[in-house]
Amino acid sequence: MEKDRAIIDELAADPGLVTRLPAEKIPALMGELAARQAALSAVGSALVARWMEAAASASQQQTTDTLLTVRQAAARLNMSASWLYQNAWRFPFAVRQGAALRFSARGLERYLESLQAERQGSR
């Protein structure tokens, strides 16, 4: 078996060596090759699954939103905190957490981007 593995390694490095193999060795080597292909296929499937898991995790981290305090959102909007409290209803990205008011960082960024696009479009 070990000898068959070594022969397959040699053949993988130089497929031209197949012409030197005795015909009676071929069935055993084919069996070893099939076993190795199955093992490599399992490794390939595991690698793909892990890769997809890592990509999904990275994607989820990118889509995670942060909630900003009124002060933080006011600074980004260049408004006062009191104005933002009074006008929070205008912003669909405002979030109430009990008595606390928070703002979605992603929502705020999209809002600012849309304002900038409007300004550029009206020029």
Domain-wise residue ranges, the chain:
2-63, 67-121
pLDDT reported for residue 63? 66
Q: Averaged over 28-40, what is the pLDDT?
A: 90
Q: Give the pTM.
A: 0.48
Q: How far apart are CA 69 and CA 121, in angstroms?
A: 31
For 101-118, write each residue's pLDDT tens digit. 999 999 999 999 998 988
Nearest Cα neighbor of 105 from 76, 74, 67, 75 is 67
Integer Cα distance of 61 and 94 in angstroms? 21
**pLDDT level of residue 44 (50, 70, 90 thresholds):** confident
pLDDT at 122: 74
What is the structure's pLDDT at 57? 74
Residue-level pLDDT at 94: 94
The tokens describing 105, both together, are: 């960082």
